[in-house]
Amino acid sequence: MNKMLTSERGNITIAMLLAVMAVMSGLTLTNLAMSDVVSSNWDFEGLQCLHFLRSEAMRGQRILEMAGDVEGALFTPVRTVGVMNSHMKRTFVLQSKIEKMLFTMDSSNSGNSINAVGTPEGYVIKSLINAKGGLGYSSFVNARNSIVRRYGEFFVRKQRYSEFMYFTETDESTNGTPVYFWGPDVIHGRVHSNTDIWIKNGGGGPNGGWPTFYDLVSTSGVIKSASGTIPMDDVFIGGYAEGYNQYDYPQNMTSIKRNGQEFGPTNCDIIMVKVTGAAYNGWIGSKSNPYTETAFVYNPYPANPLPDPLFRNIYSIQDTTWTSLGSSTSYNRTLWTRKELWIEGTFSGKQTWASADTMYLIGDILLNGTPVGTAPDSPTNTNRYDIVGLVSEGSILIKYGYVNPEDSVRVHPNCGGTGVTGLNAGINIYAALCALKKGDITQSDGVFSFEYQRPHPSVPTVFAAGQFWTKIDLHRRRWPQNGANPWPGNIDFPWYNPLWPERQPYLERGDINLWGSVAQRRRGFVHRSPYDNEYPSNGVWNVPIDFTGATAIQNYPDPVLGITMQTINYPGATGSGVGYAKNYHYDTRFYTTAPLNFPEVNLQGGDAPMLAESWLIKKPPRDLR
């Protein structure tokens, strides 16, 4: 070593070695510096691209909200954004492609999945971001493209009316009178009305006679009280909003007709459906042409021998004949008919049933994966698969009774005791309901309600003096009625009761046990007084405008037969009115999973609210084509 240090050649060698080391160190430092710069630029560009992806997703969502729907593919206009700092100039090129997506989101799947029947349930916004070197025009003519690119897919869907626990276009009765939320009403889930909401203290309940709302209550009008000052914090636990945006409630089930399958014949009047899991069967009801029937009127009647007739009633009637509908699959399908639809059953999978006419519930609407009386969304019984939607372009009514075409037995399918759960309840409904009709008069607006709301007794067929006597009321009084001879207010109007004539029709009929949601054009009665002082019929019969005679009779001995004529509560049902008590529960699965093709929400003015489902960052494609 000493020789090297004292040698001239050795000194040169050491000097050269040091020079090489200095150069290498400089190159290393330069490389590290360049690496830091490039890494910093990539991080900067990547972060900017992420922000722009979010911006593009929101832009696509807003375009969808304004358009309401897209067919095929819609490309957003190319947008460029220049970003500059002291060390870099970049231009980011942004564009999205919006497509209708065949997917159904639910709590069991955080991604997107193809629906079994290919029903469009939402949209995907595909956004691609490229970074280019330079600013403005120069960035497109030079070759200094950045290698940083980002791509994301944003899934959104239209808000559906199933996401409201309770929605009304007009929060008034079919007679234009106030309908109140009161003490027994305990509502879980979103509530909205496009008009004023009325609150009333009364009827008991757990909140000192006031109703209780556990989720947001909104009204485009104001909240009014029929009972003095409302304790707002105690009533509206989930909050409330007045002067809220109005929603444009549809009149037609557009998505159902576009994407669903029409079923049943068109040359009939009624289709009765009974669903068993993934399949259905039923009956087809066809009404005959009207034909004339006569009934001589006597006083007294019946009698043996009969006196001379006073006059003769002449009227038209129709008969209904039933034939088999056959059976088919309903699993993961949307089925609709132009006819009156009667429906009941236990449903598997996702099923939406719809009618362009009135829909009658002739029995329970149950879910195959949920025990009767339990919640489908409870922690111990999470039913992820069975979803039912019921939609009518008329009204949805709980049927009072009918003659079963299978055995010709007269049945009251939807009656039970008060407070009863399970199969012996009034009616169990696991579904989202939607009644759309905008009627020519308020009484024909679409509602969720019940059939035969003002019962009165009528004289049934009897066996006396060795023979059967039928249609006794028609042999005693003028029919059709006229101004000089009105029908008595305390005797049931012929055929107003679907089981007419009935000696002891039912007033109170138990509970509506609902696990789902209700949307309706106008607030339908599910319970009412035997006589309405706010809209008195004063003994007049005019059923289409809800003039239904006088107060129902509690006890009336027939003057000829001696039998007791009266209206009664169904055995086990309590109360002093007519109809059902509400036992409503919101199915929280509807927040994320709507029934197939259920009516979509639009704000007045045309905007269609879109709800985010998921946002996925993926490997960028070469382009959006």
Identify the DSSP state of 5.
H
- Mean of pLDDT values over 91-99: 89
Alpha carbon 73 to its chain's center: 29
pTM: 0.84
Higher pLDDT, 204 or 44: 204
pLDDT tops 90 at residue 289: yes
Q: Regarding beta strands 217-219 and 191-193, do their DSSP bridges make them parallel or antiparallel, or are they unpaired? A: parallel
> What confidence category does residue 115 fall into, taking pLDDT thresholds of 50, 70 and 90?
very low
Rounded to whole angstroms, the Cα distance separating 152 from 52 reads: 10
What are the C-alpha distances in Å from 189 to residues 111, 414, 588?
Answer: 25, 25, 8
Give the best-scoring range by mean pLDDT among 95-109, 123-137, 251-265. 251-265
Residue range 341-374, pLDDT digits in tens: 999 999 999 999 999 999 999 999 999 999 999 9
Other CB atoms within a 10 A radius of the CB of residue 425 amount to: 23
> What confidence category does residue 608 fall into, taking pLDDT thresholds of 50, 70 and 90?
confident
Percent of the chain clearing pLDDT 70 (strictly above)? 87
pLDDT tops 50 at residue 110: no
- Report the chain's C-alpha Rg in angstroms: 35
Rounded to whole angstroms, the Cα distance separating 429 from 597 reads: 19
Give all strands (DSSP E) within 330-368, no chain letters. Answer: 333-337, 340-347, 350-355, 359-367
CA nearest neighbour of 41 among 81, 87, 93: 87
Rounded to whole angstroms, the Cα distance separating 68 from 603 reads: 10
Residue range 164-203, pLDDT digits in tens: 999 999 999 999 999 899 888 888 899 999 999 999 998 7
Q: What pLDDT shows up at residue 37? A: 47
Residue range 302-311, pLDDT digits in tens: 998 999 999 9
Residue range 215-237, pLDDT digits in tens: 999 999 999 999 999 999 999 99
> What confidence category does residue 118 fall into, taking pLDDT thresholds of 50, 70 and 90?
very low
pLDDT tops 90 at residue 44: no
CB 114 within 8 A of CB 102: yes
Residue range 477-536, pLDDT digits in tens: 999 999 999 999 999 999 999 999 999 999 999 999 999 999 999 999 999 988 888 899
Q: What pLDDT shows up at residue 615? A: 86
pLDDT tops 60 at residue 33: no
Rounded to whole angstroms, the Cα distance separating 99 from 201 reads: 50
- Mean of pLDDT values over 382-401: 95
Rounded to whole angstroms, the Cα distance separating 500 from 507 reads: 15
Q: What pLDDT shows up at residue 34? A: 46
Q: What pLDDT shows up at residue 131? A: 81
CA nearest neighbour of 96 among 58, 66, 143: 58
Residue range 238-250, pLDDT digits in tens: 999 999 989 999 9
Rounded to whole angstroms, the Cα distance separating 582 from 166 reads: 13
